[in-house]
Amino acid sequence: MNNQLVRRQMPLLRGDFSENDCDKFIAAKERLWTEHGYGPWAFVINDQFAGWGGLQPENGEADLALVLHPNYWGLGKVLYKEIISRAFGEMGLNSIVVLFPPTRTRIKGLLRLGFKEDKELEVGDERFIRYRLEKPVKNEGKK
């Protein structure tokens, strides 16, 4: 969370991320699991903490987050597929959202995944654009 390449994508992250901040962050994420039955995971690759992400409740929506150290950015697609599979499979969600700050203009990949711009909103005195991905409709095929 102190890596500058990570921080530039996270406008709500202000100041240094101390060990105390980390403890509070983890406690808050664990509370999500207790209160809502789901929340983000820690990603550990080859015994190294690579980042965190998954789905977490945000204003009544399931918000997708994927925050990886730059050394692991190439693994985002694999992690994303697992998150999506769980969201629309075992969790039975009809849609998920992702929040991007307006400064994040490279969104073609997000749109290619099927996300559509939904609306603008404010979180923690910062403006975000919410994108929504609807559950894919299965083709039943013609009989």
- What is the domain-level CATH number for residue 50? 3.40.630.30
90, 80 in Cβ contact below 8 A? no
As for how many domains the chain has, the answer is: 1
- Whether 15 is covered by a domain: the verdict is yes
Domain limits at 56? 4-134
Per the domain annotation, does 14 fall within a domain? yes
Q: Can you point out the beta strands (E) in the chain?
A: 40-45, 48-58, 61-68, 95-100, 116-123, 126-134
Q: With respect to residue 80, please indicate whether it lies within any of the assigned structural domains.
A: yes
**118 in Cβ contact with 132 (< 8 Å):** yes
Has residue 143 been placed in a domain? no
* Token pair for 45: 């690759």
Question: pTM of the prediction?
Answer: 0.84
Q: Residue 140 falls within a domain, yes or no?
A: no
Q: What is the tens place of the pLDDT at every residue in 92-140? A: 999 999 999 998 888 999 999 999 999 999 888 889 999 999 998 876 5
